Amino acid sequence: MTTIIEKEFPFNELRMPTGDYYDNSTQMMHAGFERSQMWSVVEADGDDGAEYLSYGPVHHYVNLLGYIATAEHHDGDTYYIECWKTAEEAAAADDYVEETSHEHSM
């Protein structure tokens, strides 16, 4: 059964030495991680316009930002959903992009 937890991701994100996300699970296996330590990080939009990060099993690839590992092992069926931009923040960012795009096209 899938468990969805709506709160900030509680584990320390282990990324590539450069600080970037891993590109795939093979890179993470070569770095010594087991599949149960691998997480996909995807972005999603809420119905209200808010923007979310979803941390879940490594098999996701739609709206993928990249992959991270954790020292902790997961059950492969738990997701952490955290809001990283409220609907108001997302709308303000969209307005800014539209304004600057319009200014540069003149």
Q: Which domain holds residue 18?
A: 3-104
Chain segment 9-67, per-residue pLDDT in tens: 999 999 999 999 999 999 999 999 999 999 999 999 988 889 999 999 999 989 999 99
Q: How many structural domains compose the chain? A: 1
| 91 confidence band (pLDDT: 50, 70, 90) | confident
Q: Residue 80 above 60 pLDDT? A: yes
Q: DSSP letters along 50-97, please? A: -EEEEEEETT--TTEEEEEE-SS---SSEEEEEEEE-HHHHHHHHHHH
Q: How far is residue 66 from each of residues 6, 26, 59, measured CA to CA in Å?
A: 20, 13, 11
| Element at 45 (helix H, strand E) | strand 38-45
